[in-house]
């Protein structure tokens, strides 16, 4: 990768995202007769949610589009290199939790990344997406990038004036949207897709997107094509009021305290959105609460990354058109397999 990539401006970085979106939306009409191994990473939990790490190849059944497949490669080792992407929501809704996110992220990177084997990158998103640190094994550089994570108003106050906002989409001006889907697409298309080995995105957000150029399904497809697991950390904070036309206050109230004639849009269910993203990409969903802190969630993610099964098979189909659905199950009862829903043959 270009060593100057991490110095790109927000607008330049979004240009790369737009190019990635165009590729993601282009028809996939290529065909190939090459035999390629399909790699599947999976975590298994028992009915209480505890990780099961002592299964063998014979404990699994695997099918593709309903057709049984032969598992030719199997390993419980996690020695494969890991590339980790940290995607942090820095929109106004996260102002109350950003400090906790940053502190926990320092410790997570320190514990998970193995020297001379693993690497990571850091980006944040609000009304635009910005890469703070390109892929690197350097903990020092990653810690510096995490330290640069801040709210949109702190990072680019001049872009909050005059209604500039998100170029070509989203809501302009102050409070100009959150580009969660664009962040996942860009991290997948422009970084993860070029790399080999195990790949995972860790996304800290409330799950609400109101400024992206791509869609929820576009973001999921980009992660699937990059073979990247998405671990969602549902972290809610303070949600700033959006001002309707005419300067009316929030919650549908008019200037004199009556109900506004301008209906307020319903807030998307960020929790369900993140659950869908994680389920379809094979990652995990976690919710920060009084019972589970972000540090404890990071510990869970670390355990999963260190306890994955790696399975490989060669598909009985030779074309490379469309999405192929994977079903991986365990023969023993009361066990849940966490893996991606399918893949796009390359």
pLDDT digits (tens, 9 = 90+) for 128-149: 999 999 999 999 999 999 999 9
What's residue 36's pLDDT?
83
What's residue 94's pLDDT?
83
Does 5 have pLDDT greater than 60?
Answer: no
What's residue 237's pLDDT?
61
Contact 24/185 with Cβ under 8 angstroms? yes
Mean pLDDT of the 181-197 span: 96
Does 161 have pLDDT greater than 50?
Answer: no
- Would strands 82-89 and 229-234 be described as parallel, antiparallel, or unpaired? unpaired
Does 150 have pLDDT greater than 70?
Answer: yes
Contact 63/326 with Cβ under 8 angstroms? yes
Contact 223/281 with Cβ under 8 angstroms? yes
Instruction: Give the tokens for residue 266.
Output: 């319903």
Compute the half-sphere exposure of residue 75: CA atoms within 13 Å on the CB side of its CA: 11
Contact 125/183 with Cβ under 8 angstroms? yes
Give me the domains of the chain, ranges plus CATH numbers: 41-76+312-343 (no CATH), 77-242+268-306 (3.40.50.410)
Distances in Å between the Cα of 287 and the Cα atoms of 121, 177, 206, 293 are 23, 22, 10, 9
Angle (deg, nearest 10), helices 98-112 and 294-305: 30
Contact 14/129 with Cβ under 8 angstroms? yes
CA dihedral 224, 273, 154, 157 (to 10 degrees): 90
What's residue 125's pLDDT?
95
Give the model's confidence band at 160: pLDDT under 50 very low, under 70 low, under 90 confident, else very high. Answer: very low
Beta bridge partners of 74: 311
Mean pLDDT of the 227-237 span: 90
- Which one, of 342, 252, 329, lies nearest residue 60 by Cα? 329
The percent of residues in the chain predicted with pLDDT above 70, rounded, is 73
What's residue 165's pLDDT?
33
pLDDT tens for 250-284 read: 333 333 344 444 454 566 799 999 999 999 999 99
Instruction: Give the tokens for residue 155.
Output: 């990072």
Does 195 have pLDDT greater than 90?
Answer: yes
What's residue 137's pLDDT?
96
φ/ψ region of 267 (left if φ > 0, alpha if ψ in -120 to 50, else beta) reads beta
Does 12 have pLDDT greater than 50?
Answer: no
Does 321 have pLDDT greater than 90?
Answer: no
What's residue 163's pLDDT?
30
Q: In this predicted structure, which of 32-41, 275-284, 309-318 has the lowest mean pLDDT? A: 32-41
pLDDT tens for 49-107 read: 899 999 999 999 999 999 999 999 999 866 788 999 999 999 888 878 888 889 999 99
């Amino acid at each position: 990768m270009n060593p100057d990539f991490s110095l790109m401006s927000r607008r330049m970085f979004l240009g790369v995202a737009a190019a990635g979106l165009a590729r993601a939306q282009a028809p996939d009409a290529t065909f190939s007769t090459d035999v390629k191994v399909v790699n599947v990473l999976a975590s298994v939990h028992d009915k209480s949610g505890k990780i099961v790490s002592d299964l063998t190849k014979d404990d699994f059944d695997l099918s593709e589009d309903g057709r049984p497949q032969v598992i030719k490669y199997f390993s419980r080792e996690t020695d494969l290199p890991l590339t980790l992407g940290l995607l942090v929501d820095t929109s106004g809704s996260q102002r109350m939790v950003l400090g906790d996110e940053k502190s926990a992220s320092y410790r997570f990177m320190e514990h998970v990344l193995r020297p001379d084997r693993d690497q990571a990158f850091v980006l944040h998103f609000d009304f635009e997406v910005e890469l703070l640190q390109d892929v690197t094994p350097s903990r020092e550089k990653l810690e510096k990038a995490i330290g640069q994570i801040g709210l949109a108003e702190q990072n680019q106050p001049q872009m909050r004036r005059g209604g500039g906002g998100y170029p070509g989409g989203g809501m302009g001006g102050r409070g100009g949207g959150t580009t969660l889907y664009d962040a996942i697409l860009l991290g997948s298309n422009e970084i993860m897709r070029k790399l080999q080995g195990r790949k995972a995105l860790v996304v800290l957000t409330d799950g609400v997107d109101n400024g992206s150029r791509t869609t929820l399904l576009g973001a999921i497809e980009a992660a699937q094509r990059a073979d990247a697991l998405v671990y969602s950390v549902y972290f809610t904070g303070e949600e700033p009021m959006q001002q309707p036309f005419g300067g009316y206050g929030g919650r549908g109230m008019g200037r004199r305290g009556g109900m506004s004639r301008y209906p307020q849009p319903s807030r998307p269910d960020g929790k369900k959105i993140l659950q869908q993203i994680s389920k379809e990409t094979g990652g995990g969903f976690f919710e920060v609460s009084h019972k589970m802190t972000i540090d404890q969630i990071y510990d869970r993610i670390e355990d999963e990354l260190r306890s994955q099964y790696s399975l490989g098979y060669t598909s009985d189909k030779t074309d490379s058109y469309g999405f192929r659905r994977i079903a991986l199950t365990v023969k023993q009862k009361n066990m849940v397999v966490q893996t991606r829903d399918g893949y796009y043959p390359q």
